[in-house]
Structure 1
Amino acid sequence: MFKKQCIAMVLGFIGISSAWAEQGQTLRIGIEGEYPPFSAVNEQGELYGFDVEIAKALCVQMQKDCTLVQISWDAMIPSLKTNKIDAIVASMSATDERRQSVDFTDKYYSSYGKLVLKDSLAGQINSDNWQEKLQSITLGVQRATIHDRFASEKLKNIVGEIRQYNTQDEVNLDLISGRIDATLADTIALITGFLETDMGKGYAFAEPVFDDPAYYGEGVSIVIRKNEEALKQAFNQAIQEIRANGVYQTINDKYFNVDIY
């Protein structure tokens, strides 16, 4: 488990000429820090991961002073809405439910959910029989995520029990200890944060893919407050520019074997 602590990392870059930058304030970006390989905290108390490097790269591209602030997942949107931070770069999917209270930029990567179980069980579950096979299992999900909402609304009458956890690391630990039978989470995070680690040996994906747009949205995006169009467009432009200039691909290839955009 990574050390849990709040830290701030300041990136020093000059400001750009837009309404939101001319105010002279540092852009405060919320990062979870408990969702490897997207964000985690090392033994030195430093944030690292795909989300962290993307946030830094976007700040460089926008030539904007930025501070990365570690915040727990369920406090992300409340912190944004109460002006404690100005944006969220934390693998958050742009869903219709969330759009009711916050706004989203264009996506910076794609996401969908899958189930992980012991490999002997995973191999028995396919797209035709999954509802029958899941009837007696205990499923673990990270609280307040799209996977939690999907499971709570679509799987509650199918699985035996749903247990909610504060972090995906906690879910994974209970999975290998036998306290739960399966987890539903982001496919990329499960590959790199669990299945490709020593902890994940003997576990595998079941076949079904969960990507209902009503729950999984239109991709993973940066979250901002409503009515901040200048900031939104600045982020959108920066996302496209780091895609075009190779910076995005360099970061992508450091963590993943495929382009996750």
Structure 2
Amino acid sequence: MLKTKLKSLVAALALTLPLAAPAQADLTDILEAGVIKIAVPESFPPFGALSMEGEHEGYDVDVAKLVAENLGVELELVPVVSKQRIPFLETDRVDLVISVMGANPERAKSIWFSAAYAPFFSGAFATADKSISSPDDLVGMKVGLTGGTLEDLELTKTAPEGVEIIRFGDNAATLSAFTSGQVDVLVSGNTAAAQITDANPDIGLETKFIIKESPAFIGVKKGNYDLLQWVNVFILHKKLGGELDEISQKWLGQPLPPLPTF
């Protein structure tokens, strides 16, 4: 009697296992389905945001379109905020996360990361006529930044005497101060600098030096090894072919810098 009950219990459990295991959308599954779902930023220009026409656009959106094109499948964009990126990947609501996501040990406990595909950094920006390559070259200049930010903390540690740091209350005020000529140098994230380039293409803004790097990586669900391998080959191919450089020039107003790989 006991053996019979045990056999019945094992059989019942075996029947429930396929139902309990979530389907993982690895490369073969995506190709067979003919569609890929990719998370992109809901509102984080210039990486992803709604255009005036109501269409999503940005650096990450262009990369997502390129991924789908190279896979030969339809693209389903899934706009997300930061806190949704990993949960959406873990629960199969998306197949990839291309949403200006930095890699760190804590996140790597939950998901896999590709090679870096986009630059994201804090730096010093100024016009082409200014010869600046380090904090020492800022002596005698007015440098505008947003008070209390990472840029403020980092530059305050490295700037020598003779650098006039002018702190503003928010990014909008900082950007306005630079475009109006109140300061000689802008210290900010590269996305903020890209906004100036987009609105004032004739200003000729250049990256003078980088203060802190935090490049963006594509998120892949753990276990989807074939998809991860394909994504890494895709990134390498688009770096060598110049497509990622074109996207960087379009949305960030700068050439694609060297990016890390794993």
Asked whether 1:210 is paired with 2:219, we answer no
Matched, 1:90 2:99: yes
Greater Cα radius of gyration, structure 1 or 2 = 2
TM-score, with structure 2 as normaliser: 0.60
Give the CA deviation at 1:232.
Answer: 0.7
Which of 67, 84, 102 is the matching residue for 2:111?
102
Is 1:114–1:205's contact at 8 Å kept on the other side of the alignment? Answer: no
| Partner AA of 1:111 in structure 2 | F
Q: Partner residue of 1:258? A: 255
* Aligned partner (choices 192, 195, 207) of residue 193 of structure 1: 195
Identical-pair percentage: 21
From 220, 227, 233, give the equivalent of 2:223: 227
Distance 1:192 1:208 in 2: 15
1:38 aligns with 2:47: yes
Name the CA shift for 1:77/1:22 in 2 (closer, same or farther; >3 Å).
Answer: same
Whether the aligned pair in 2 keeps the contact of 1:127 and 1:207 (CA below 8 Å) is: no
Pair 177,22 (structure 1): closer, same or farther in 2 beyond 3 Å? closer
**Residue 238 (1) aligns with residue 231 (2):** no
1:93/1:221 contact within 8 Å kept? yes
In structure 2, C-alpha distance between the alignment counterparts of 1:96 and 1:151, rounded to whole Å: 25
- Aligned AA (1:211): K
Structure 2's unaligned 5+ residue stretches are 1-25, 128-133, 139-144, 158-166, 178-185
Question: Helix, strand or coil: the match of 1:96?
Answer: coil
Q: What is the alpha-carbon distance in structure 2 between the residues aligned to residue 250 and residue 209 of structure 1?
A: 21
Could you tell me how far 1:53 is from its partner in structure 2?
Answer: 1.0
SS of 1:19's equivalent? Answer: helix
The aligned runs of 1:1-261 (5 Å cut-off) are 18-22=27-31, 24=33, 26-114=35-123, 127=135, 139=147, 172-173=171-172, 175=174, 184-186=188-190, 189-194=191-196, 197=199, 209-211=210-212, 216=214, 219-255=215-251, 256-261=253-258
What are the ranges of 5 or more consecutive residues in structure 1 without an aligned counterpart?
Answer: 1-16, 120-125, 131-136, 142-147, 164-170
Q: What secondary structure does 1:251 align onto?
A: helix
